[in-house]
Structure 1
Amino acid sequence: MASHLDARSLSAWFGSRKVLNRVSLTMPAGRVTALIGPSGCGKSTFLRILNRMHELIPGAELAGEVLLDGEDIYARGRRLTEARRDIGMVFQKPNPFPAMSVYDNVTAGLKLTGTRVAAADRDVLVEECLTRAGLWKEVRDRLRQPGGALSGGQQQRLCIARSLAVRPRILLMDEPCSALDPTSTRRIEETIRELAEEVTIVIVTHNMQQAARVSDRCAFFLAEQATPGVIVEHGPTDVMFSSPRDQRTADYVEGRFG
């Protein structure tokens, strides 16, 4: 069952430079939320805060809360590996372990997060995750071949399968199609729509057409004149694209800047 994520008054710094200012956003269960806005407005920083990656950067600081089904993932005593298991991440550039087999790539996250799966159940898990990532039919005869031998689009779907293996409640995606050709992009988008029935998805994208195609809700980030990033407005994607409340949103989604 999908979970919901709430960011409350998040502010973030890199050293003395403030990059986000009191950002709040609800990401509903079983929906795709797209984060849009120009480069440098804090979208990727916000995404990394959502699964505790921001805190690993030297000099990075954070204020505010991230609530997963009402529980703060930054609460004292909550383990980092627990947050990473619940909230998976797919990066801009496909990053499978290149020398590791397709099969072992899918199961790699189990060890990293301390997730126990009986050896007898692993074959079933690998097939299930590759199927959910839209890759099973393409690689079922190549499971013992290196993941690095797959095409770029296949590698990205392999990374999605690897994330799904630990049964995340949320899946974060940072421009997952930016390095892919149109055919691979379309397949990833189909995968996103299929997965959203079971996993809550938050995606950063610079492609407005993609945001319109895959997301249910949108949040428009902006950082003006060297000020920290904020959310100008957020809401249902169709409303954001057809009748936004703020002129800056209209200018951005219609391509007049950014």
Structure 2
Amino acid sequence: MTLPPVPGTGATGATLQARRISAWFGDHKVLDRVSLTMPAGRVTALIGPSGCGKSTFLRILNRMHELVPTASLAGEVLVDGRDVYAAGQRLTEARRTIGMVFQKPNPFPAMSIYDNVTSGLKLTGTRLNGDAKDDLVEECLTKAGLWREVRDRLRQPGGALSGGQQQRLCIARSLAVRPKVLLMDEPCSALDPTSTRRIEETIRELAHEVTIVIVTHNMQQAARVSDSCAFFLAEQNTPGAIVEHGPTPAMFSAPSDPRTADYVEGRFG
């Protein structure tokens, strides 16, 4: 059974726009006036060498940057035209609308697979009866490519799963609150090739219903899973900025900036 969409959510995600984003840790500026449109229902890959601000930018998109005591920022983040940093915008609403999957799988280890998937419902104030909750768990685990592997052990701890399964469980947990956008910070960096392939398949399968933004250092992965790319670079101790962005095939076959060509072809970074 497929659950009906939650009112106010779109079947193809939401357009995510960053406008003139600058960011600091204390007095150290790490991003300088970054603007980027991430289209609805598409996969956008953020690429670039370590230390250029990709992960910081990703965390700004769902208001995680502000949790760092020394952090500050300027600019706007719009979801379908609404600024998530505007006065009166609740942090919990931003987290419900914009989900996050981290580099290292982080299921609640002692919590069952079933309870991991439904753990966000309480935080968002969503109440479902038993059958609806069962349907939600099956739907989200299916979308994350995990249902067939765990359907007979839903009450076992999530921490007992393999690393790749744990990452897919985290994806299912994020999907359960019906986000419009799903952010992924190097979700395959700690996984074996087989698990990586399954996560990549999941990303492509989800792209038609949720906007996905992924940070990756794997150029082959960016080419396989993304529709568009943004190349970040921080040169000579300057803050990170976008050198260029555009459709993935063009970024890899005919980039307009020679620095992009050098990076995607492996000559630095």
Instruction: Name the TM-score class by shorter chain.
Output: over 0.9
Per the normalisation by structure 2, the TM-score is 0.95
State the shift of 1:65 in Å.
Answer: 0.2
Where 2:266 maps in the other structure, the secondary structure is: coil
Where 1:97 maps in the other structure, the secondary structure is: coil
**Is structure 2 residue 235 aligned with structure 1 residue 185?**
no
User: d(CA) in 2 for partners of 1:135 and 1:154?
Assistant: 7
Alignment of 1:7-156 (within 5 A): 7-156=18-167
User: d(CA) in 2 for partners of 1:53 and 1:131?
Assistant: 28
Where 1:64 maps in the other structure, the secondary structure is: strand
Where 1:185 maps in the other structure, the secondary structure is: helix
Which amino acid is 1:239 matched to? Answer: A
Which amino acid is 1:148 matched to? Answer: G
Moved beyond 2 Å, runs of 4+: 112-120
User: d(CA) in 2 for partners of 1:61 and 1:115?
Assistant: 32
Paired residue for 2:220, among 200, 209, 218?
A: 209
State the shift of 1:110 in Å.
Answer: 1.0
User: d(CA) in 1 for partners of 2:131 and 2:150?
Assistant: 20
Where 1:88 maps in the other structure, the secondary structure is: strand
Consecutive unaligned residues in structure 1, runs of 5 or more: none
**Is structure 2 residue 258 aligned with structure 1 residue 247?**
yes
Counterpart position of 1:231:
242
User: d(CA) in 2 for partners of 1:142 and 1:3?
Assistant: 34
State the shift of 1:109 in Å.
Answer: 1.1
Per the normalisation by structure 1, the TM-score is 0.99
Consecutive unaligned residues in structure 2, runs of 5 or more: 1-10
Where 1:213 maps in the other structure, the secondary structure is: helix
User: d(CA) in 2 for partners of 1:136 and 1:151?
Assistant: 14
User: d(CA) in 1 for partners of 2:189 and 2:241?
Assistant: 23
State the shift of 1:59 in Å.
Answer: 1.0
User: d(CA) in 1 for partners of 2:253 and 2:127?
Assistant: 47
Where 1:112 maps in the other structure, the secondary structure is: helix
State the shift of 1:76 in Å.
Answer: 0.3
CA RMSD of aligned residues (A): 0.6
